[in-house]
């Protein structure tokens, strides 16, 4: 039998971090814990009310469509998706169906041993539902989430393993955070996953099974892994895969059949009569956010600077790290006029020290504390032997914490390599310790180290060691 290859597609629901809900002015506040605080006639589906579209949500969705290189439908349409469920007070969800906001996108997965293009079928805007809360023998509904803006993202079945699913989810969350349109915190339900999995030889698709309602990336990966194994076993036994919807049990780590939902899946979509077509106008284009995806950043950094993906993976964890790295490099190249050495120096100090200190103190990069120029200047002085690597690290640490300006650390710690200044200090030391001078003349090497030590003491360790040694030797031989 030919090898069975998994074909996996994802459907993602992403809650947007707008100030207000999608069709009313209620607060969109995921932190609100008291039920039914942020609700009104519109988001609880009272008769006779009219939805008004939130422009910010459209700007966010359009920004995502652009990041995913999608064909944007500049005129799209809202539709009613009809179904009955207690958390859906109108008995329909306002969504997009035939004309989504974006179609035919691409998303690059880039990791140490992976460069892969995943096709995105569509993204569209829709409203979230409320939440059913269950208490023993009764249930209550909380409508705080009802009407919160969502983007639904549907990929083509281009993923080939649970590992690729994990990478997709992680990289997608990074993109969302770079865009700043949502925290995409899976634990808080801000990003929710569904996966469709089929197995077949070559490029063909098998019978598709959908796994619904997964709230953690870890569970998504486990569910897909389990489903691949389950289907493989069935096929090898010669059994048929049933096209169905399955749930995932996080405790037992298995998927289970939920076929009842499959039969109910006739949503009787029709165009939403209460909303005009959604037009992407100049204002939306002007206010949109334009970013490179993490994968594109990594590919570019490799091409421009030869950075390997292991290194750039640490940079893309935060957008500001990428900006800061590139700006510091450009400043350093201006100072050093040696592009290769500049890159080498910055690589040496960026991850272990700069990011290391940020992570140690749980801080973000704050330009009011340290700027790319200051960082570059530090590395420049280091390259000119004006300061030691110990001072570079100290200045970075104090700068990052906002405790001291980099320049002040340097002023305090800069090595004294001015021969005239050193000359005076050494003169003093020689006068103070004539016995040591004599000892050295008698061949006691240790006496020279002692004298150097005394110069270090007077300069608080800032005397340039080689020059100090040289001047002491000169003076002693002259005295002779």
Q: For binding to Zn ion (CB under 5 A), which residues are involved?
A: 24, 26, 40, 42-43
- The site partner of 289 among Zn ion, Mn ion, none (C-beta below 5 to 8 Å per kind) is none
- The site partner of 40 among Zn ion, Mn ion, none (C-beta below 5 to 8 Å per kind) is Zn ion
Q: How many CB atoms lie within 10 A of CB 478?
A: 7
> At closest approach, how far in Å is the CB of 40 from Zn ion?
3
> At closest approach, how far in Å is the CB of 95 from Zn ion?
17
Residues 6+ apart with CB under 8 A from 209: 196, 197, 198, 227, 231, 241, 242, 243, 244, 245, 246, 255
> At closest approach, how far in Å is the CB of 275 from Zn ion?
15
* Residue owning tokens 């499959």: 262
- The site partner of 12 among Mn ion, Zn ion, none (C-beta below 5 to 8 Å per kind) is none
Give the nearer residue to Zn ion in terms of CB position, either 26 or 173.
26
Give the nearer residue to Zn ion in terms of CB position, either 66 or 145.
145
Give the nearer residue to Zn ion in terms of CB position, either 24 or 197.
24
Cβ–Cβ < 8 Å for 255, 228 = no
> At closest approach, how far in Å is the CB of 187 from Zn ion?
25
- The site partner of 65 among Zn ion, Mn ion, none (C-beta below 5 to 8 Å per kind) is none
Give the nearer residue to Zn ion in terms of CB position, either 27 or 119.
27
- The site partner of 365 among Mn ion, Zn ion, none (C-beta below 5 to 8 Å per kind) is none
Cα 471 to Cα 40, 331, 428, 463: the distances in Å are 83, 35, 13, 11
> At closest approach, how far in Å is the CB of 50 from Zn ion?
12
Give the nearer residue to Zn ion in terms of CB position, either 43 or 301.
43
In the bound complex, which residue of the shown chain has the CB atom lying closest to Mn ion?
152
Q: Which of 200, 211, 125 is nearest to 165 (CA)?
A: 211
Alpha-carbon torsion 380, 385, 391, 392, what sign? positive
> At closest approach, how far in Å is the CB of 126 from Mn ion?
5
- The site partner of 152 among Mn ion, Zn ion, none (C-beta below 5 to 8 Å per kind) is Mn ion
Residues 6+ apart with CB under 8 A from 141: 86, 87, 130, 131, 132, 133
Helix (H) or strand (E) holding 329: helix 319-336
- The site partner of 220 among Mn ion, Zn ion, none (C-beta below 5 to 8 Å per kind) is none
Give the nearer residue to Zn ion in terms of CB position, either 43 or 184.
43
Give the nearer residue to Zn ion in terms of CB position, either 55 or 259.
55
> At closest approach, how far in Å is the CB of 131 from Mn ion?
15
Q: CA-to-CA distance for 319 and 301, rounded, in angstroms?
A: 13
| Phi, psi of 415, rounded to the nearest 5 degrees | -70, 140
- Residues found near Mn ion in the complex (CB under 5 A): 152
What length does the chain have? 480
> At closest approach, how far in Å is the CB of 11 from Mn ion?
7
- The site partner of 43 among Zn ion, Mn ion, none (C-beta below 5 to 8 Å per kind) is Zn ion
Give the nearer residue to Zn ion in terms of CB position, either 43 or 197.
43
Q: Furthest-apart CA pair in the chain: how many Å?
A: 106
Cβ–Cβ < 8 Å for 192, 13 = yes
Cα atoms in the 13 Å half-sphere on the side-chain side of 290:
5
Angle 160-196-191 from CA coordinates, rounded to 5°: 100
| Phi, psi of 254, rounded to the nearest 5 degrees | -135, 160
């Amino acid at each position: 039998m030919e090898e069975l290859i998994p074909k996996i597609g994802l459907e993602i629901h992403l809650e947007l971090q707008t100030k207000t809900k999608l069709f009313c002015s209620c607060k969109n506040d995921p932190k609100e814990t008291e039920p039914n605080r942020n609700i009104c006639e519109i988001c609880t589906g009272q008769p006779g009310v009219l939805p008004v579209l939130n422009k910010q949500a459209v700007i966010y969705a359009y920004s995502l469509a652009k990041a995913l290189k999608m064909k944007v439908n500049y005129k799209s349409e809202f539709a009613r998706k009809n179904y009955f469920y207690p958390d859906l007070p109108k008995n329909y969800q306002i969504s997009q169906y035939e004309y989504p906001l974006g179609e035919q996108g691409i998303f690059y997965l880039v990791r140490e041993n992976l460069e892969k293009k995943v096709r995105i079928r569509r993204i569209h805007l829709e409203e979230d539902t409320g939440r059913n809360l269950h208490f023993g023998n009764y249930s209550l509904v909380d409508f705080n989430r009802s009407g919160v803006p969502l983007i639904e993202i549907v990929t083509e079945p281009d993923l080939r393993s649970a590992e690729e699913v994990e990478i997709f989810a992680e990289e997608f969350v990074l993109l969302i955070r770079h865009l700043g349109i949502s925290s995409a915190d899976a634990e808080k339900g801000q990003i929710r996953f569904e996966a469709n999995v089929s197995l077949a030889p070559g490029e063909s698709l098998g019978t598709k099974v959908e796994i619904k309602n997964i709230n953690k990336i870890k569970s998504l990966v486990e569910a897909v892994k389990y489903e691949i194994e389950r289907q493989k076993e069935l096929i090898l036994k010669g059994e048929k895969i049933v096209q169905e919807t399955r749930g995932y049990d996080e405790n037992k780590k298995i998927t289970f059949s939920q076929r009842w939902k499959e039969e109910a899946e006739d949503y009787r979509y029709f165009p939403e009569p209460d909303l005009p077509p959604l037009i992407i106008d100049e204002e939306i284009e002007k206010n949109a956010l334009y970013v490179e995806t993490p994968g594109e950043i990594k590919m570019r950094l490799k091409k421009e600077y030869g950075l390997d993906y292991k290194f750039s993976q640490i940079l893309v964890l935060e957008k500001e790290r990428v900006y800061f790295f590139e700006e510091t490099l450009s400043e350093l190249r201006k100072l050093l006029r040696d592009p290769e050495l500049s890159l080498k120096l910055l690589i040496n100090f960026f991850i272990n020290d700069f990011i290391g200190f940020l992570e140690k103190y749980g801080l973000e990069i704050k330009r009011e504390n340290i700027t790319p120029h200051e960082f570059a200047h530090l590395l420049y002085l280091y390259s000119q032997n004006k300061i030691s690597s110990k001072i570079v690290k100290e200045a970075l640490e104090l700068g990052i914490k906002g405790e001291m300006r980099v320049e002040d650390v340097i002023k305090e710690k800069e090595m004294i390599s001015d021969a005239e200044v050193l000359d005076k200090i050494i003169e003093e030391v020689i006068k103070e310790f004539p016995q040591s001078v004599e000892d050295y003349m008698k061949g006691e090497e240790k006496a020279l180290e002692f004298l150097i030590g005394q110069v270090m003491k007077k300069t608080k360790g800032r005397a340039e060691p080689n020059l100090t040694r040289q001047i002491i030797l000169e003076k002693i031989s002259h005295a002779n």
